[in-house]
Amino acid sequence: MTALRTLGEMSVLLAQGADGSFWMPQGVSTVARHVDWLFNLILAISVFFFLLIVAVMTLFVIRYRRRAGAGAEASAKHNTALELTWTIIPVILVTVIFFFGFKGYLDMSTAPANAYEILVDAQKWNWSFTYPKGYVDSSLHVPVNRPVRLVMTSADVIHSLYVPAFRIKQDVVPGRYSKAWFEATEPGEYELFCAEYCGTSHSGMLATVVVHPPGEFEIWLEKASNFLETMTPVDAGRKLFQVRGCQQCHSVDGTAKVGPSLLGVFGHSQPLADGSSVTVDENYVRESVLEPMAKVVAGYEPVMPTYQGRLKDAEIMAIIEYLKSLAGNG
């Protein structure tokens, strides 16, 4: 076991600089060290046997090649020592890998009881994170050195939450809750990816994880939660527009995305899919947020999810004020 540990640690030294390895960014969670150790052990074993097999094969090809005048010898039928060797050594290796892999899997699936809980909603194609008092953000903010438990679900298809720096990846499935946990060990900003192909903008389904230094997470949460009181309605609306996923499908610069651009539409008439038209006013915006299928703009698919129960009245009002501010030139 000591020899295996040394082999694993040697490969860590070989593969890992201060900013992470060739394979992974720097590990900044409590489990990263264990995941990397096992990964590097498996890598070292694979490289060792790959080189051994290729070397022996090359040697044999040259040494036992067919020569003029020499007939082929009969193949050996049995070699007990050789067969025991190639059975026992791999059994020991896979048992060691299983032991550390299973232990790590159990540790990574069981969150500590005092973990801070954050709800995660995935939908095509953005992430939203709901904090204990109901504040929702598009970034995952967490305190350093404290276990955080994620309770995750999806509004549409299967997504997968992946934070390479924490070495965690977990599928997010519609109709059920999946869980993941981690404890970040370094303040900073890290990338969060969707790791399950979920359609057109899968590769753009990104978020930032912000690990706050001791004491600063609570200050951030307090300040962020009060944005409706501290910001003007237009600014609050802009923030909601970005944070709640609107901008994934609606541009504000006139470009058509999955949904129509919202530049300069407020107060103007819009043609609808059924051939009629509607003037974009407060009531139409509110209806479209709560009942997106009611009046779909011509030329677009009815794919918008409802925000019924997910946006408060004051938040819808702020979004309306923001849309009014997008006057545009037409």
**Where along the sequence are the contacts to ligand CUA (CB under 6 A)?**
122, 125, 159, 194, 196-198, 202, 205
Nearest residue (CB) to ligand CUA, 11 versus 160: 160
Taking a C-beta distance cutoff of 8 angstroms, is the pair 136, 130 a contact? Answer: yes
Alpha-carbon distance 176 to 313, whole Å?
A: 28
Q: How far is the CB of 18 from ligand CUA (least distance, A)?
A: 31
Return the DSSP state at 165.
G
Residue type, 16: Q
The angle at the Cα of 296, spanning 291 to 301, to the nearest 5 degrees, equals 110
Residue whose CB is less far from ligand CUA, 125 or 190: 125
Structure tokens at 173: 């499935």
For the bound state, the minimum distance from the C-beta of residue 153 to ligand CUA, rounded and expressed in Å, comes to 13
Q: How far is the CB of 136 from ligand CUA (least distance, A)?
A: 18
Kindly tell me which of 206 and 231 has the beta carbon lying closer to ligand CUA: 206
CB 211 within 8 A of CB 188: yes
Which lies closer to ligand CUA via its Cβ, residue 160 or residue 288? 160
For the CB of residue 204, give the shortest distance to ligand CUA in the complex, in Å.
9
Give the integer Cα–Cα distance in Å for 79 and 252: 74
Taking the complex as a whole, how short is the minimal distance between the CB of residue 255 and ligand CUA, in angstroms? 22
Query: Which contiguous run of DSSP H or E holds residue 223?
Result: helix 216-225
Q: What residue type is assigned to position 133 of the chain?
A: K
- CB of residue 122 vs ligand CUA: minimum separation in angstroms? 6
Please say which residue, 168 or 280, places its beta carbon nearer to ligand CUA.
168
Instruction: Give the three-state DSSP class for 294.
Output: coil
Q: What element of type H or E holds 8?
A: helix 2-15
Enter the tokens of residue 254. 């006139």
Please say which residue, 136 or 207, places its beta carbon nearer to ligand CUA.
207
Helix (H) / strand (E) element for 162: namely: strand 159-163
Nearer to ligand CUA, 205 or 317 (CB): 205
- Residue 292 has, within 13 A of its CA and on its CB side, a CA count of 14
Closest CB 208 distance from ligand CUA, rounded Å: 16
- Whole-number minimum distance, CB 167 to ligand CUA, in Å? 19
Please count the other Cβ atoms lying within 10 Å of the Cβ belonging to residue 97.
Answer: 15
Report the alpha-carbon distance of residue 92 to residue 102 in Å, rounded. 15
Residue 205 in contact with residue 159, Cβ under 8 Å?
yes
Give dist(CA 307, CA 143) in Å, integer: 29
Q: Which is nearer to ligand CUA, 150 or 198 (CB)?
A: 198
Residue type, 110: T
